[in-house]
Amino acid sequence: MEPQPITQVGPVFSGDSAWQFVKQQTLFGPRVPNTAAHKACKEYFIKTLTRFGATVTAQNATLTAFDGTKLDATNIIAAFFPEKSNRILLCAHWDSRPWADYDPDPANHKQPVMGANDGASGVGVLLEIARLLGQVNNGEQPNVGIDIVLFDAEDYGTPTWYEGRPVEDSWGLGSQYWAKQAKASGYKAKYGILLDMVGDANPLFLWEHYSLQYAQSVVGKVWSAAASLGYNNLFQPRRGGAVTDDHIFVNRLAGIPCIDIIDYNPTRINGFVDYWHTLYDTLDKIDPRTLQVVGTTLVNVLFSE
């Protein structure tokens, strides 16, 4: 029996506003570590999240890439309702891939990717949630504190054309750093939700393998919320594939049960959308309606705690 759509809980999420936040990121150009666009976008995030009332921390780190390149990276941490001890972690990566190594034209394989979907879409949803959290009155606050973390250097993983020795864990460098620091500082969250590639017009969100392995109850919570809102067509309750993403390090290194909401279908070539890691991951691929579905689901989860 299909669940009946329920009344939305919490403030109303705007897919159009989230789309504007995605657009704003793309206006900087590709957000590749060690570039001017990356630095400018970082300042934009800090200013915007501060304006929304968050307690913002810029966690700077020098990270070493697969080929020894030193990356000037910053994880951006925005805490809402810091006085609440029970906390939920929301995260996404904000950097974009330095190389379009899956582009159909080999001449583009060393060009940077815009990352409208792969990067900016998840951040766009989180910025809209931050905007809403900054507006709630005392009596309307969720019962939990919320930490939004924008991870850097997720997409600096070893490119297909690299001829050196393969490096383990070359992806998710920012989340690896954050997770180690979180563990060392004693940071605790009830659970975490990672967003990645959540803006395509025809997405499919399945139960990701590591999410089930580490945080099955959280998968159940999120997919139940989506079903109750009538979003079963996008959030389908069945197993997808295993994706190497930031949530793995949040689980393994920080010990926080964290899931990945990601557009990944094992029946596709590479599992991802056909413009993944190409020069075609541009703003025209982003659909405000998809952002609306993902954002509304998250708001329902947060305000039902």
> 63 - beta bridge partners?
71
Instruction: Please answer whether residues 260 and 208 qualify as being in contact, where contact means their C-beta atoms are separated by less than 8 angstroms.
Output: yes
Beta strand residue intervals within the chain, DSSP E: 55-64, 70-80, 87-93, 145-151, 191-196, 205-207, 235-239, 258-262
Give the tens place of pLDDT for each residue, 120-165: 999 999 999 999 999 998 889 999 999 999 999 999 999 999 999 9
pLDDT of residue 1: 42
> 91 - beta bridge partners?
149, 194
- Give the helix/strand (H/E) hosting 291: helix 288-303
Residue 240 tokens read as 């997808």
- 10-residue mean pLDDT profile of the chain (305 residues): values are 64 97 98 98 98 98 97 98 97 98 98 98 98 93 98 98 93 98 98 98 98 98 97 97 97 98 94 97 98 98 97
Q: Taking the CB of residue 158, how many other CB atoms lie within 10 A of it? A: 17
Q: Where are the alpha helices (DSSP H) in 115-199?
A: 122-133, 173-185
Domains of the chain with bracketed CATH: 15-303 (3.40.630.10)
